[in-house]
């Protein structure tokens, strides 16, 4: 009955639990994260106290059951929390997004009782997770990966390199995709749980990025890393299913990050245009500025509806592949456009780091790139349309 009621609600109408988490995340973002945003961006590093508080607030294990130390929440709760955090800082937003929509979701869907009992309490309470799929030669063509896993008794020996790994500097639990049978192509891909203290595992080069600078993005090296067979997530040779299905959910999380950036840009623009005076009055009194703000608000609401719709479909066990692709594609377009418009409205002040909009603009660009480029989202949408 509850699921039916949720489906029938307008998409932006939140349940009581969702609203409570939204307000708590928004307050945390404003009171704790906001004063440290500039410092973290300049240092290209998350503040350890903020990481600790994310765990203490339950933001790192929203969907993990209470029996495993998590909040026992819903996918939609993760989405609204990511949105509210990203409204202030997209670096912290993606930090908790990867943990919830990729790593935790992969365990919840594919983990054995033994694996979940061992790892979920850690992910909910103290340890950061990372998702290791991309390589130098496998970006959009994710299944062209070269990372190899060779069977050796009760273990597999992993060798290879992973690139663009979010949360790598902070993480202690890594979901690594490697191929146990390259001759079988993607049907050899297997998902392994790798602990950061396993011999031969190391975090290498940290990327110096345009945006989301406080979020670590690093290269991962695997040199004869011995991983027990008990650390396989799902089944041998079925890692491609883990990757595809988890990334479909992760795209909705990136959509939430993008509408958070867009909301932050709009909020800043509205406040500034009411305060900034030219020709004897606030620039918000000029019709040309009003029209820009109205356009921004309208496009943001369209993006939010797409993201929330995909999230509702997912948590109600309905097909959401096309809707997730639409949500990620359009929200990333809107985030970049609205942050750019905000910079324009701020004028010269929009181009300096003293004001927040230049950071929103830099942070927005990644939305068109990671967890499936905009072109890949369009390809997915078109394929589904042509099959219908």
Based on the residue annotation, tell me whether 371 is a catalytic residue of this protein. Answer: yes
Please give the Cα distance from 323 to 318 (Å, whole number): 11
Of 18, 299, 358, 371, catalytic: 371
Best CA proximity match to 328, nearest among 303, 301, 362, 309: 303
The 3 state secondary structure assigned to the chain is: CHHHHHHHCCCCCCCHHHHHHHHHHHHHHHHHHHHHHHHHHHHCCCCHHHHHHHHHCCCCCCCCCHHHCCCCCCHHHHHHHHHHHHCCCHHHHHHHHHHHHHHHHHHHHHCCHHHHHHHHHHHHHCCEEEEECCECCECCCHHHCCCEEEEECCEEEEEEEEEEEECCCCEEEEEEEEECCHHHHHHHEEEEEEECCCCCEEEEEECCCCCCCCCCEEEEEEEEEEEEHHHEECCCCCHHHHHHHHHHHHHHHHHHHHHHHHHHHHHHHHHHHHHCEECCEEHHHCHHHHHHHHHHHHHHHHHHHHHHHHHHHHHCCCCCHHHHHHHHHHHHHHHHHHHHHHHHHHHHHHHCCCCCHHHHHHHHHHHHCCCCCHHHHHHHHHHHHHHC
DSSP lists the bridge partners of residue 222 as 160, 201
pLDDT at 6: 40
Please give the Cα distance from 329 to 302 (Å, whole number): 12
Contact 248, 182 (CB under 8 A): no
CATH of 241-387, one of 1.20.140.10, 3.30.43.10, 2.40.30.10, 3.40.630.40: 1.20.140.10
Please give the Cα distance from 286 to 258 (Å, whole number): 28
pLDDT at 119: 98
Please give the Cα distance from 292 to 47 (Å, whole number): 35
Please give the Cα distance from 348 to 92 (Å, whole number): 27
pLDDT at 3: 40
pLDDT at 142: 82
Please give the C-alpha separations between residue 128 and each of 69, 98, 104, 168, 375, in angstroms, as whole numbers: 14, 9, 10, 9, 30
CATH of 2-127, one of 3.30.110.30, 1.10.150.120, 3.30.2320.30, 1.10.540.10: 1.10.540.10
Please give the Cα distance from 86 to 300 (Å, whole number): 14
Indicate the pTM of the whole model. 0.95
Q: Which CATH architecture group holds 130-237?
A: Beta Barrel (2.40)
DSSP lists the bridge partners of residue 173 as 129, 195
Instruction: Write down the domain spans for the chain.
Output: 2-127, 130-237, 241-387
Phi, then psi, of 267 in degrees rounded to 5: -55, -45
**Residue with structure tokens 């967890």?**
371
- 388 residues of the chain, pLDDT tens digit each: 344 344 444 667 899 999 999 999 999 999 999 999 999 999 999 999 999 999 999 999 999 999 999 999 999 999 999 999 999 999 999 999 999 999 999 999 999 999 999 999 999 999 999 999 999 999 888 889 999 999 999 999 999 999 999 999 999 999 999 999 999 999 999 999 999 999 999 999 999 999 999 999 999 999 999 999 999 999 999 999 999 999 999 999 999 999 999 999 999 999 999 999 999 999 999 999 999 999 999 999 999 999 999 999 999 999 999 999 999 999 999 999 999 999 999 999 999 999 999 999 999 999 999 999 999 999 999 999 999 7
Residue 56: exposed, middle, or buried by beta-carbon count in 10 A (0-12, 13-18, 19+)? Answer: exposed
């Amino acid at each position: 009955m509850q699921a039916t009621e949720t489906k029938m609600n307008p998409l932006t109408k939140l349940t009581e639990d969702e609203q409570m988490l939204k307000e708590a995340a928004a307050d945390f973002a404003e009171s704790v994260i906001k004063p440290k945003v500039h410092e973290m961006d300049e240092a290209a590093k998350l503040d350890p106290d903020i990481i600790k508080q994310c765990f203490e607030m339950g933001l790192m294990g929203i969907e993990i059951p209470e029996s495993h130390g998590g909040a026992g929440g819903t996918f939609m709760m993760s989405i609204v929390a990511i949105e509210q955090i990203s409204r202030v800082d997209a670096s912290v937003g993606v930090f908790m997004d990867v943990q919830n929509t990729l790593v935790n979701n992969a365990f919840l869907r594919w983990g054995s009782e033994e694996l979940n009992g061992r790892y979920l309490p850690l992910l909910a309470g103290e340890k950061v997770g990372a998702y290791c799929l991309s390589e130098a030669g496998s970006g959009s063509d994710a299944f062209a990966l070269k990372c190899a896993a060779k069977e050796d008794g009760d273990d597999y020996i992993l060798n290879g390199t992973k690139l663009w790994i979010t949360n790598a500097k902070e993480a202690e639990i890594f979901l690594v995709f490697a191929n146990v049978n390259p001759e079988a192509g993607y049907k050899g891909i297997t998902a392994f749980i790798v602990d950061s203290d396993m011999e031969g595992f190391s975090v290498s080069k940290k990327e110096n990025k345009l945006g989301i600078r406080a979020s670590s993005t690093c290269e991962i090296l695997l040199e004869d890393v011995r991983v027990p067979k008990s650390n396989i997530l799902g089944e041998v040779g079925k890692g491609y299913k883990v990757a595809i299905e988890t990334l479909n959910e992760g795209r909705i999380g990136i959509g939430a990050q993008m509408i958070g950036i867009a909301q932050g840009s709009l909020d800043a623009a509205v406040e500034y245009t009411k305060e900034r005076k030219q020709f004897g009055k606030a620039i918000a009194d000029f019709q040309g500025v009003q029209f820009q703000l109205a356009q921004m608000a309208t496009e943001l609401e369209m993006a939010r509806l797409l993201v929330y719709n995909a999230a509702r479909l997912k948590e109600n066990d309905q097909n959401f592949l096309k809707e997730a692709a639409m949500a990620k594609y359009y929200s990333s377009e809107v985030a970049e456009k609205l942050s750019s418009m905000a910079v324009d409205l701020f004028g010269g002040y929009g181009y300096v780091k003293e004001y927040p909009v230049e950071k929103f603009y830099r942070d927005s660009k990644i939305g068109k790139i990671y967890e499936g480029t905009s072109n890949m989202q369009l390809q997915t949408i078109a394929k589904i349309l042509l099959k219908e």
